[in-house]
Amino acid sequence: MKKILREHIEKLIPLTDDEFSFVLSHFSAEQYDKNDFIFRKGEKVKNCYFIISGLLKLVYDDKDGKQHIVSFALEDWWESDFSAYFSEANTKMSLQSIEDSITFSLSLKNYHKLSAEFPKMQRFFLNKSNTGHIASQHRILSFLTSNARERYDQLIKQYPLLVQRVPKTLLASYLGVSRETLSRLSH
Amino acid sequence: MKKILREHIEKLIPLTDDEFSFVLSHFSAEQYDKNDFIFRKGEKVKNCYFIISGLLKLVYDDKDGKQHIVSFALEDWWESDFSAYFSEANTKMSLQSIEDSITFSLSLKNYHKLSAEFPKMQRFFLNKSNTGHIASQHRILSFLTSNARERYDQLIKQYPLLVQRVPKTLLASYLGVSRETLSRLSH
DNA sequence: ATTTTAATGTGACAAACATCACAATAACAA
DNA sequence: TTGTTATTGTGATGTTTGTCACATTAAAAT
């Protein structure tokens, strides 16, 4: 588990053993069963989460009670309600596990501490944030340019393994189409 | 102009005069007339751009020649094709001015130099990137939960000044609806 | 093993939205 | 000014997608 985190960071930033120990001391491991909530809408989020194994969904519940999946979080991914996390406000979304999952969590305090005391790690976070921003823009572009079928095809192409692990009902909710429409796209 | 950049940065990170001089030396000022391209699709982008005054559009041209506005860039905003910028690849989008505009541009080299030599500035970039990421997620949520009229209402509420400066044809392209549909929403 | 719940497919119909066509007006340039 | 181009509105029509209803199968729980 530690090894996974270390290798993830070292894809971008080489670390000595001591440096990694220092970094690691800011995280704490957590384990969730399938369907557990990491946090619920309306609560505070103390942490952001690095996923060691498993699969999470970041969900927004609209006024009609419909669920919208803002994001899936797979192994090697970071997730939180970042808006609430950074501003220490109440969450507008919930984070729930789709499979049994293991995470490393990082409190906002420790995030700032790590960033301030260890610029290498700040560089790592900057890189991650940039990547996340670019990924989100890519998804926006998909909404702008593509219809339901095309968005589904793009998803399959981009995350083939995810598509196999997740029920189509959830994929539909991520793609912004009804499950019935998604079901009819296969023909 | 320098003052605008300084105040923008100091909203997040206080700077001494010397520090700001150092930061400023990494930027160069550029001026664009209305309709000028800052860069075109297929080219390399050397810079990202901080907008001092004016208004830009980040545009994706699809296979049918239709234009999709990925983002508007107003005063006090940073813009580029960040995917191409960070990876030094060819752009998939173009950046064009909608009004006469003045920018401060920052090369990737200087971005890395600034970040490495001056952790305060890396903190600034991290903060900006996080904000941008959150804003993109907000837009995704708008696509997931809202129809054309609701997205338009949200845009008016969020950027009332932008809506008055930009022709509806472009707003439609940003919202992901046809201009005819947008035109009919007012009733 | 049996019951319960979740996931999926599909028909019928309605709503949202796109496209094409044309007209009117506003902004801009020679 | 005068011609040209960009912007906007609107009708007619077709396509895409959503909603409701029901059936079937798969998975999970007891």
pLDDT at A186: 74
Check if the beta carbon of residue A47 is closer than 8 Å to that of residue A105: yes
As a whole number, mean pLDDT of residues B163-176 equals 97
Q: According to CATH, what is the number of the domain B2-118?
A: 2.60.120.10
Angle of helix A108-117 relative to helix A119-145, nearest 10 degrees, comes to: 120
Average pLDDT, chain A: 96
pLDDT at A133 over 70: yes
* A147 CB-near residues (< 8 Å, 6+ apart): none
B14 touches strand C (CB under 7 A): no
CA distance A2 to B99: 52
Q: Do B133 and A138 touch (CB under 8 A)?
A: no
**Residues of chain B found within 8 Å of residue A82, distances taken between Cβ atoms:** 130, 133-134, 137
Going by pLDDT thresholds of 50, 70 and 90, the confidence category of residue B115 is very high
Going by pLDDT thresholds of 50, 70 and 90, the confidence category of residue A1 is confident
CA distance A34 to A18: 35
* A118 CB-near residues (< 8 Å, 6+ apart): A19, A22, A23
As a whole number, mean pLDDT of residues A139-167 equals 97
pLDDT at B113 over 80: yes
3-state secondary structure labels for all residues of chain A: CHHHHHHHHHCCCCCCHHHHHHHHCCEEEEEECCCCEEECCCCECCEEEEEEECCEEEEEECCCCCEEEEEEECCCCEECCHHHHHHCCECCCEEEECCCEEEEEEEHHHHHHHHHHCHHHHHHHHHHHHHHHHHHHHHHHHHHHCCHHHHHHHHHHHCHHHHHHCCHHHHHHHHCCCHHHHHHCCC
B178 touches strand C (CB under 7 A): yes
Q: From the CA of A187, how many Å to the C1' of D15?
A: 17
pLDDT at B186: 74
Which one, of A161, A133, A129, lies nearest residue A171 by Cα? A161
A138 interface with B at CB cutoff 8 Å? yes
The dihedral over CA atoms of A3, A72, A138, A130, expressed in degrees to the nearest 10, equals -40
pLDDT tens for each residue of B29-64:
999 999 999 999 999 999 999 999 999 999 999 988
CA distance B102 to B32: 6
**Residues of chain B found within 8 Å of residue A143, distances taken between Cβ atoms:** 140, 143, 176
Going by pLDDT thresholds of 50, 70 and 90, the confidence category of residue A18 is very high
CA distance A34 to A99: 4
Burial of B182 (0-12, 13-18, 19+ CB in 10 A): buried
Check if the beta carbon of residue B36 is closer than 8 Å to that of residue B44: no
Q: Which of A145, A146, A154, A174 to mutate to test the interface with B (most CBs of B within 10 A)?
A: A145
Block residue for tokens 């950027």: B159
CA distance B135 to B138: 5
B180 touches strand D (CB under 7 A): yes
Going by pLDDT thresholds of 50, 70 and 90, the confidence category of residue B187 is low
Going by pLDDT thresholds of 50, 70 and 90, the confidence category of residue A187 is low
Q: How far is A31 from chain B (nearest CA, A)?
A: 26
Q: What is the DSSP letter of B29?
A: E
* Partner-chain residue, chosen from B119, B136, B144, that has the shortest CB–CB distance to A133: B136
Q: From the CA of B102, how many Å to the C1' of D30?
A: 70
* B26 CB-near residues (< 8 Å, 6+ apart): B106, B107, B110, B111, B113, B114
Task: Write out the H or E segment, with its range, that includes residue B123.
Answer: helix B119-145
**Residues of chain A found within 8 Å of residue B148, distances taken between Cβ atoms:** none
Check if the beta carbon of residue A186 is closer than 8 Å to that of residue A118: no
Check if the beta carbon of residue B73 is closer than 8 Å to that of residue B56: yes
pTM score, two decimals? 0.95
- Cβ pairs A/B, distance under 8 A: 94
